[in-house]
């Protein structure tokens, strides 16, 4: 506890009397251009760059399906840039910072600049403290799908950056322990507005274990959050939920194998299936559970052709008791029963640049009703084939 308090003291009391020579600033980013074709209208986000799954049937006046259409798009708004700062030693702490942004704000324009990362890091001996906005604990930078699509495996793999306090302890050369306090910001749970975590008066709490040995790497994470339900008065009702994952990677001489399982409840802020129901027994709010698994395999070549394959499956598991689904507090009104995706890809790497081609088949199972536990029922499958060609120039 004493060391933890020292980190806060260092972050809050360091002086501003350091000179410019004490800082090293590295500029980084990339220009990215995507061209994509979808064979069906689909649920997408961030100017169509974050692809999720095909839409449900929408009957027209003449009985036709209004979502049975093809779409073509060319866009460069996921281009990004940022600054990495290596700072001076302050009160015995090594300091650094990162600030980064791109143009994938809300809406479908290319001029919606948004903040991706903004954090400061203090490190001393085997401990480090990170304060600011960066990846959610369930997005492990050591192990995520390297799809051509910028969705990084969503909705099967969590995709979220959030303000946080992160304490890291390097227990040994192979083992790390991490502890987190988080609050939602621009990634928010469906239907909970702009103050779900703020009015709950309780930050999300997570703990994580990372381990590596030779070509193997693994991690386990568990977390808990409480949200204030909107429009339930000045002393709002609350809904609690949990999440956990187990992640594994092994680097063979010629290729890398990755896989992960995620299970939790009310996880829509992670760009995954999630929602809320109300208990039949007492009308309390109950989080709906979701399970997900994915795998990714790719060549280790760092120049020339690099083939890869991604596959993922996620399912709406309902609630542990009888509920009525609250569609206003659930992603896609809670009607998606499952999603399956298979995506082979081929990248051609040329030093700091690469060209990638990917075909993704995505099948979404939509329900028109629910069973007693909030699982979509009377389901029908809809399929989209997405062809994507992408260019990135890194700097």
Average pLDDT over residues 73-86: 93
pLDDT at 20: 63
C-alpha atoms less than 13 angstroms from C-alpha of 175 in its C-beta half-sphere:
4
Say how far apart CA 239 and CA 285 lie, in whole Å.
6
- Rounded Cα gap, residues 76 and 129, in angstroms: 34
CATH class of 30-76+149-394: mainly beta
Three-state DSSP class for residue 177: strand
In this structure, the dihedral spanned by the alpha carbons of residues 107, 29, 10 and 139, taken in order and rounded to 10 degrees, is 60
How many whole angstroms separate alpha carbon 197 and alpha carbon 225? 8
DSSP 124-174: ETTEEEEEEEEE-TTS-TTS----SSTTTTTTTS---EEEEEEEEEE-SSS
For the chain, the structural domain boundaries read 30-76+149-394
Query: What pTM was estimated for this model as a whole?
Result: 0.91
- What is the tens place of the pLDDT at every residue in 299-325? 999 999 999 999 999 999 999 999 999
Residue in 366, 311, 386, 300 with CA at minimum distance from that of residue 342: 311
The confidence band for 110, taking pLDDT boundaries of 50, 70 and 90, is: low
Which DSSP helix (H) or strand (E) runs through 11?
helix 2-13
Query: What pLDDT does 186 receive?
Result: 86
What is the pLDDT at residue 7? 45
pLDDT at residue 98, as a whole number = 97
Per DSSP, helices labelled H in the chain are 2-13, 196-200
Distance CA 256, CA 357 (A): 19
The structure tokens listed for 12 are 């809050």
CB-CB contact of 272 with 262 (8 Å): yes
The tens digit of pLDDT for each residue in 20-44 reads: 668 899 999 999 999 999 999 999 9
High-pLDDT (> 90) share of the chain, %: 85
Predicted local distance difference test score (pLDDT) of residue 11: 46
Is residue 16 pLDDT above 60, yes or no? no
**So what's the pLDDT on residue 49?**
84
Mean pLDDT of the chain: 92
């Amino acid at each position: 506890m004493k060391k933890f308090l020292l980190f806060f003291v260092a972050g809050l009391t360091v002086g501003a009397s350091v000179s410019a020579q004490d800082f090293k600033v590295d500029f980084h980013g990339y220009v990215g251009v995507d061209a994509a074709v979808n064979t069906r209208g689909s649920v997408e986000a961030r100017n169509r760059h974050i692809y999720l799954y095909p839409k449900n049937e929408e009957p027209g006046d003449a009985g036709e399906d209004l979502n049975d259409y093809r779409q073509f798009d060319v866009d460069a708004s996921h281009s990004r840039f940022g600054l990495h700062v290596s700072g001076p030693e302050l009160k015995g702490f090594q300091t650094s910072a990162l600030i980064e942004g791109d143009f994938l704000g809300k809406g479908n324009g290319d001029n919606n600049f948004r903040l991706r990362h903004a954090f400061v890091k203090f490190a001393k001996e085997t401990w480090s403290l990170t304060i600011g906005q960066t990846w959610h604990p369930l997005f492990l930078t050591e192990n995520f799908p390297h799809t051509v699509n910028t969705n990084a495996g969503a909705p099967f793999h969590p995709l979220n950056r959030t303000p946080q306090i992160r304490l890291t302890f390097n227990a040994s050369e192979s083992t790390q322990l991490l502890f987190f306090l988080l609050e939602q910001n621009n990634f928010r749970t469906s239907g909970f507005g702009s103050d779900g975590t703020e009015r709950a008066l309780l930050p999300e709490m997570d703990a994580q274990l990372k381990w590596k040995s030779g070509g193997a790497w693994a991690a386990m994470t568990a977390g808990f959050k409480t949200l204030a339900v909107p429009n339930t008065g000045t002393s709002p009702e609350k809904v609690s939920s949990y999440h956990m994952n187990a992640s594994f990677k092994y680097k063979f001489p010629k290729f890398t194998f990755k896989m992960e399982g995620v299970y939790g409840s009310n996880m829509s802020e992670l760009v995954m299936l999630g929602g809320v129901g109300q208990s039949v027994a007492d009308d309390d709010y109950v989080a709906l559970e979701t399970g997900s698994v994915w795998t990714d395999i790719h060549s280790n070549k760092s120049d020339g052709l690099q083939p890869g394959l991604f596959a993922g499956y996620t399912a709406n598991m309902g609630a542990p008791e009888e509920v009525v689904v609250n569609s206003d507090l659930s992603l896609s009104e809670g009607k998606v029963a499952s999603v399956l995706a298979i995506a082979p890809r081929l990248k051609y790497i040329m030093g700091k640049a690469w060209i990638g081609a990917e075909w993704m088949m995505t099948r979404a199972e939509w329900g028109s009703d629910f069973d007693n536990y909030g699982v979509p029922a009377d389901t029908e499958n809809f399929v989209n084939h997405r062809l994507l060609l992408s260019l990135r120039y890194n700097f």
